[in-house]
Structures are given as C-alpha cells and as structure tokens.
Structure 1
Amino acid sequence: MSLLDSAFDNMFAPKEQRSQSVLSGLGSFLSFGGGTASTGIKVKESLKLSAVYNAVEQISNDLAKTPFGLYQDIDGNKERLRSHSADILISSEPNYLMTPYNFKKLIGTSLPLRGNCLFKTILDNSGYPVSAEYIPWDNVFDVKLIKGELYYYVNGMADPLMSSEVLHFKQFSLNGLVGIPTITFAAMQLNLALKTQEFATMNLDNKGVRQGVISTEKVIKDKSGIIQGWRTAMAEKSADRVVVLDEGMEFNPITITPQELQIIEQQKFSIEDVARWFNIAPHKIKSLQQSTNNNIEQQSLDHVSDTIQPLVTNVEQELTKKLLTRKERSTCYFKGNMNVLLRADIKSRGEYYSKMVTSGVYNRQEVRRKEEENNGPEFLNEHLTPVNTYTEKQLENNLKMPK
C-alpha cells in the first residue's frame, strides 16, 4: 500500500482502526537522492528547470533570513528569553555543523522538494533541548501510528524514534502526519517542461536538423552506404559540418519544428505554472512579462503574507510544541520576525515607523532597537501622543491645571 493510499484510508477509517493504522511505502516518495514520482521525474531532474530551482531558492532564503526567538508573554508584556536553551538552539547553534541560517534554509528547501524535514532533538541531563540532529528523509523507511503514538523508523537506528523526540516539519498533507512534496503533484507538468527543454537542447545541438527521410526518383539498390554516410556526417559536432546529397536526393524532415511547437511560449507557460505550484509570485522567479512597478510592490507583500507567513507559522508551532514543556507553552512561544522581509524599502519603513511613533504604538527607543542601533538618551523611552488625540482623562487633567 502506498503512502497516499494509506493516507486516504486513515482519513476515512473507523475511529477504532485509526490508532492501529500504518503509514508505509515512504520509499516511493521523492527525495534528494533521486526518488521518482509516477511520471518518472526526479527531484534532481526538476531542479534543472531554472524556474523550479529559483522558486525553491527564493522560498528557502526568505525563511532562512527570518530570525526566530523564544518569547514569554506575562500580562501583555513580552520578553525575549535569550538564556533559554531552546532560544539558543534556534537562534545561535542548532547543532555543531549548522548555523541558524543553514538550519532554516534546509527546512525551506526540504519541504517543497520532499514534503518533510526531520531533526532528532538532543536533550541535556535536565531534559532541555540543546541540539537538533538532521535526519535525511530518504533514511526514513517507515512511519507508523500505533496506539496514538507516531514512530519513525530510520535506517541505522535500532529503535524507532517517537514523535516527541523529533522536530518534524511537514507541508501539504492528506493525514496530518506525513507531508507530500509539491513535486509529486507537479510532476506531470514539470516532466513536460523538462521534455520541452530537452527538445530545444537537442535541436540546438543538431543545428535544427532533425529526423527525416531521404528521397529520390531513382532506384537505390544499396541503401546502407547512404544511411551510414548521413549518420557519420550528422554525428560531427563542428559548426561547419556539411552533408552532400547526390543522385537528386532530397532530405524531408518528419518531425515538427521548434517554431511549430512554439518552444519559447511553452517555456513561458511552464514558468507561470511553476509559480502556481510553489505559490510564489512570478516576478520572484524572474518572470516580469506582466509586472509593473506598482503591482510588483503589491506582489511582494502578497509573497510575504501568502507564501512565507504560512511556512513561518508552521515552523513556529512545531518548535513551540516540541521544544517547550506543557507548562512553558502556557506563557512562552516561538516567533519569527517577518519585518526583516520588508526592510528593503527604506522609504516605506521610515513612514511606518513614523506612524507608529506619532500614534504612540512605539517609542523612539524601540525603533532604534528594531534597527539594531544603540540606545539613545533616556527621554526617547517616552511615548509620544498626538495633541489632537488626547483621551478624556488627559483633557480633564489639562483643564484642571492652573494657568
């Protein structure tokens, strides 16, 4: 039974059967090692398409440069818990081989291409997480749900890992337990795009000369010499190769031309289709045919809210669920600061800060900290209040003040 079949079966199985359901067949899923989808396309092959490579690169880069931190909320006052081991793990040293950037980029790369990204959490003697050891998804040969507990069977490990022992990031899922790669659903169209690219490359290599028929009005008794001579001449890779046909022979191609296939238009379509599959704005993968300065700005905002924010939320919640105790989760949570994704526009950022300061949401000291500037004078800690937005109490106090 394939993983997709078992996922559907598990969704509609009676409640008493679900606890014993087994998700197997993981080996049929895609992996960096070259797993194939039903169409025969491989992950490595799909990355030969520049649009696919760039889509994965853009999404993973945006996640990688989003800083995460552990915060505690007590009566509305939020404090960064920088000394907590879980905060150190995610923001300083996930493991001895990776930086936080590498850690998050690996998640952003694995999810669209493999549907899952798995880390084994290493705890200290007190039970606090101190490291996250990466486990390639192709090493996971089975996942079983037994009596309400999810077990991961990994090559090279004698005992399976429990769900509480791992950080398991997953994307689109039919059962909520195992993710499915975007490549799996897009395989058929991506395979067509690859075939189109290969066809264009083959025609370029052959200088536009394709399969065909050599015809003549004369009767040719020995055809092998003509065929071999044609193959020999066409096998040359030089730009000035010449084929001479005598005896009134003519070459008639039997395959359609790149112009008839409209290769360029097909490749443009494949770029738009890749953008749809990966839920990314076309201009993010360098397709600017229908972009203007006005709509690119809006598309960039949509990219943050529609593409990156769900991924950031996915990571936040998995970290909160697996790296914190039940008691800690009542007041503590992980948060990804997505403001860094909008920092490129200095003018818009300045206008935003100005509105936040003048409306009293931020004080000027907080703005300096957000821009990673040193603290200024003490008076910058005071919140400003517009004179035309006094509260009733402030107005009453002003009226009572002696003149």
Structure 2
Amino acid sequence: MNLLKSLFHSRDKPKNYLISGFSFLFGSTTSGKNVNEKTAMQTTAVYACVRILSETIASLPLHIYRHSENGKEKAIQHRLYRLLHDEPNSEMTSFVFRETLMSHLLLWGNAYAQIIRDGRGNVVSLYPLLPDRMTVDRNSKGELFYEYHKESGSVVLRKEEVLHIPGLGFDGLIGYSPIAMAKNAIGMAIATEEYGARFFANGASPGGVLEHPGVVKDPKRIRDSWNDVYQGSANAHRIAVLEEGMKFQPISIPPEQAQFIATRKYQLNEIARIFRIPPHMIGDLEKSSFSNIEQQSLEYVKYTLDPWVVRWEMSLQRALLTEPEKQEYFIKLNVDGLLRGDYQSRMNGYAVGRQNGWLSANDIRELEDLNRIPENLGGDLYLINGNMTKLQDAGLFSKNFETEGELSEKEVLELGEK
C-alpha cells in the first residue's frame, strides 16, 4: 500500500491536457472558425444544452441527511444544511451557485469553489472560482494544491480549501473540456449559422459577377456602385439597371443546393449528442410525439442527469464533510420530482401502494407536497384490502362449512373475521 501511494504521489502534476499541454486543440477548426468556451455559447444549441443541464441541477432539492433507525432523516440542525439548501455565501442563492458551477463544468470540464472555514475548521461559505484561472499542481510531498490567478497576482489554496468537481478526464483529477473535444462539430455549427446570416445580409441573393462586353477601366467604381444600391437585406428586390450591355451572373451555390437547412439541423443533433440532451428539449420535435416525449424525458433523468447528480453528491461529501461525519451524514440531490409521471399515472401508482399497505395517506400527501393528516385521524395508518389472505388459509371457509354443516349467522361472521 505504501509503495502504491508513493507511486501515485510521484506522478507528474495533473493537467487539463486540452488547455495547457495541447493548446492547438482549441482555436481554429477545419471549418475555419475559432472555438472556445465563449464563442461556443453564442451557438444556440450549445447555449440551450448548457442552460438546461445547469438549471436542472440548480433547481433540484439539495439536502444533507443523517442515517437513523428508520432509514434517514433531514439533518436540519447541521451547519451545512442551510449553506447548501439556501445560501452558500452572502452574495448568491443556492440556485445561482449551483447553476454557475454546473455551467463551468459543462464548458471547461471542471468546477471550482473556494471553501471558507472558521477557526474550528467548520465550513461557513462557498464562493465560485473561474476554471480558466485555476492551475492544479503537486508540491514536493506529492500533495495537491490549487493556484488561482487573479489580476493582482496569484493565490495558493490547499486542497482542503477547494471544492473541485471534475468532469471526465485522463487522470481522474482534472476534467477536459467537452467544447475542446467537439470543437469541429461546434465550429461547423458556427460556420453554417454565419453563412445563413451573411446570405440574408446580402439580400437573400447569392454573389455573382458583372459581365461587361468591353474593357472596364475602373472595376472598383462599378462594383462599389452596384453594392451601394443593391447589396444588403434592406435593398432586396430592387430593380437593377444595367448599362453598356452588362450582365449579372450568379456564381454561388444557392442554399437549397448546398443542403443548408439539413446541415444546420444535423449540427443541432450533433451538439445535443455531445451533452446527451434529447433533441426535443432544445426545440427539435421532428422525431417526437405525445406518446414518446414523456419516455424521452425519463431517459434524460436516468441516463443524462443521474451521472451528474452522483458526481455532485460525491464531490460535496468528499470536500465538505469530515471523516467522522461521512459515517453518519450524506448529501443528496433529489430527482424524484422529475421522475413523476402525469397526474393519472401518479394516482394509479398511489392507489396500488395504498391498497397493498406500503404507502400511508401521509406518505402520499408528502409526495404531492400536501400537508399531513393528523395522526389521530389515521393519516399514518397502513391498510390492506380485506380480501387478502395467507396462502395456507385459502379455502378455510368452505372446508369448515363442509365438515361442520350449516353454520349460524354469528359463526359465519366470526369465521369471516378470521
């Protein structure tokens, strides 16, 4: 074990290889467009995917729980409860804090927050840190530390002072940017969007050539004169007057021949694939219907959201709970509300649980965010249908009737109660 530990600590410092080690993976793409976190967010599909995931994580109920004899209970008195549920610091709500960190995680592959502790080591506040200003390194003892670069200099933070949520990465310590990994797909989306914008800025007409039968002494003057009158969407459909036998010949490929619409739609699905977002959630309803949208939404929770939720929960527990507390407490993001079906499906499910004795009236009311029924009115009772009986008692009534003959009304009622 000691040998393995020393080998682990002797490794090179962790890197986001797509930023520091191989900077060529950012920047220009095969489409000729520069792609980074900021330019990618100007693409509507990327913005929509990042917004959906960030707002979903931010809106989930976040609680700290304590293991109890009956299973679990909310640890409302714990110092972290209000910090995580309401306000991680004096400047932002829990929603804004989680939304910010999740957007960092989706764009840069890493999310960082500074942990402020009091003299006893208790966490008192959390502040987001920008991933592009953070460097992770090891000291001479092999221990991780974080160096945050500010305009006025840099600050070194110990690992106990940083909440770090890494995305998928090469070494398990630093995540790499999804934007860098898929820069060509995003670059093509930017290029097609810019092509469409320029096409309409040019009056929705392709470029072309002005042909003159003779020799033109000043072609620049003719070109500028033509552009001043006919170029731009404001000048679309104006009547052109050609002098001295000139002709206009379009030379660009019309958008319908270049499959412009199909390309834009395909790139939308490409970007949705990067973030594993169902296309209908970012506005593509081509393959969606009333019968399958609910199923796609449930798959979004199961296959897209759940891995992010587990990543968040484990990172929060590792960074914020002490070693003794980890045996007693745990942090959970509740996705039950997203998994609920429509009203009729929920009522049918509650009815099955109520009739089979594993749900009480108050259990159901809590799931529906309703006030509890007082205990003296039977709100906590677990009931089953009267026609349910044990297997070994099946046929007992008819057997007794055959052997003992005709029974009195009182005996029938007593036997029925049994």
The alignment's TM-score, normalised by the length of structure 1, stands at 0.85
Q: Which deviates more from structure 2 when the two are superposed, residues 41-50 or residues 309-318? A: 41-50
Decide whether the 8 Å contact of 2:54 with 2:100 is kept in 1.
yes
Shift of residue 237, structure 1, vs aligned partner: 5.7
Any unmatched runs of 5+ in structure 1? Answer: 1-13, 30-34
Determine whether 1:260 maps to 2:257: yes
| Partner SS state of residue 332, structure 2 | strand
Alpha-carbon distance between aligned partners in 1 of 2:417 and 2:359, rounded to the nearest angstrom: 31
Residue of structure 2 equivalent to 1:16: 7
CA-CA distance at 1:92 after TM superposition? 1.8
Matches of 1:340 and 1:64, distance apart in 2? 14
The whole-number CA distance in structure 2 between the counterparts of 1:261 and 1:207 is: 18
Aligned partner letter, 1:251? F
AA at the equivalent of 1:169? I
1:169 maps to what in 2? 165
| CA shift for structure 1 position 282 | 0.7
Matched, 1:81 2:78: no
Distance 1:198 1:402, change over 3 A: closer
**Hey, what does 1:382 align to over in structure 2?**
381
Alpha-carbon distance in structure 2 between the residues aligned to 1:394 and 1:150: 67
Which residue of structure 1 aligns with residue 44 of structure 2? 50
Give the distance between the partners of 1:288 and 1:92, measured in 2 at CA.
36
Shift of 1:256: 1.5
* Aligned residue number for residue 184 of structure 2: 188
- Per the TM alignment, residue 384 of structure 1 is displaced from its structure 2 partner at its CA by 2.2
After alignment, is 92-101 or 382-391 more displaced?
A: 382-391
- Say whether the 8 Å CA contact 1:363–1:380 is kept in structure 2: yes
**What RMSD over aligned residues (CA atoms) do the two structures have, in Å?**
3.1
Greater shift, 74-83 or 55-64, is seen at 74-83
Whether the 8 Å CA contact 2:18–2:180 is kept in 1: the answer is: no
Alpha-carbon contact 1:51-1:271 (below 8 Å) kept: yes
SS in structure 2 opposite 1:271?
helix
Say if 2:277 is the partner of 1:280: yes
Residue from 99, 115, 126 that aligns with 1:121: 115
Looking at structure 2, the residues matched to 386 and 104 of structure 1 have their Cα atoms a distance apart, in angstroms, of 46
| Identity percentage of aligned residues | 31
Q: CA deviation at 1:350?
A: 2.4
- Matching of residue 69 in structure 1 with residue 63 in structure 2: yes
Amino acid across the alignment from 1:150 = L
Q: Secondary structure of 2:164's match?
A: strand
Q: Which moved more, 1:229-238 or 1:196-205?
A: 229-238
Query: Partner residue of 1:202?
Result: 198
**8 A Cα contact 1:36 1:43, kept in partner:** no
Q: Using the alignment, how far apart are the partners of 1:362 and 1:208 within structure 2?
A: 63
Shift of the 25–81 alpha-carbon distance from structure 1 to 2, 3 Å rule, reads closer
Answering whether residue 87 of structure 2 is matched by residue 96 of structure 1, we say: no
Q: Is the 8 A contact 1:154 1:160 kept in 2?
A: yes
CA distance in 1, matches of 2:342, 2:251: 55
| 1:362 to 2:355 alignment | no
Q: 386-395 vs 127-136, which deviates more?
A: 386-395
Letter in 2 for 1:28: I
CA spacing shift, 1:270–1:326, aligned 2, 3 Å = same
> Greater CA deviation, 148-157 or 254-263?
148-157
Q: Distance in 1 between matches of 2:329 and 2:367?
A: 21
1:124 corresponds to which letter in structure 2?
Answer: D
Partners of 1:27 and 1:138 within 8 A in 2: no
Deviations 1:338-391 (A, max 9, x none): 012235722222233333333333322122223332221212112223446556
> Secondary structure of the equivalent of 1:167?
strand
Q: Which range is displaced more, 40-49 or 292-301?
A: 40-49
Shift of 1:294: 1.4
Aligned to 1:178: 174
* Structure 1 range deviating more: 365-374 or 302-311: 365-374
Q: Answer whether contact 1:62 1:341 (CA < 8 A) is retained.
A: no
Q: Give 1:291's aligned amino acid.
A: S
**Do 1:203 and 1:209's aligned partners in 2 also have CA atoms closer than 8 Å?**
yes
Cα distance per residue 1:98-126 (max 9 Å; x no partner): 11111221122221112111111112333
What's the offset of the Cα at 1:401? Answer: 11
Distance verdict in 2 for CA 1:38–1:72, change over 3 Å: farther
Which residue in the other structure is 2:127 paired with?
133
Retained in 2: the 8 A contact 1:68–1:335?
Answer: yes
Deviations 1:169-189 (A, max 9, x none): 122211111112221112111
User: What's the TM-score once normalised by structure 2's chain length?
Assistant: 0.83
Q: Look up the match of 1:319.
A: 316
* Counterpart for residue 303 of structure 1: 300
Q: In the alignment, is residue 232 of structure 1 matched against residue 228 of structure 2?
A: yes
**In 2: Cα distance, 1:242 partner to 1:350 partner:** 66
Going from structure 1 to structure 2, the CA distance change for 1:237 and 1:204 (only over 3 Å counts) comes to closer
Q: Which has the larger radius of gyration?
A: 2
- CA offset at residue 139 of structure 1? 2.2
Equivalent of residue 28 in structure 1, options 12, 19, 25: 19
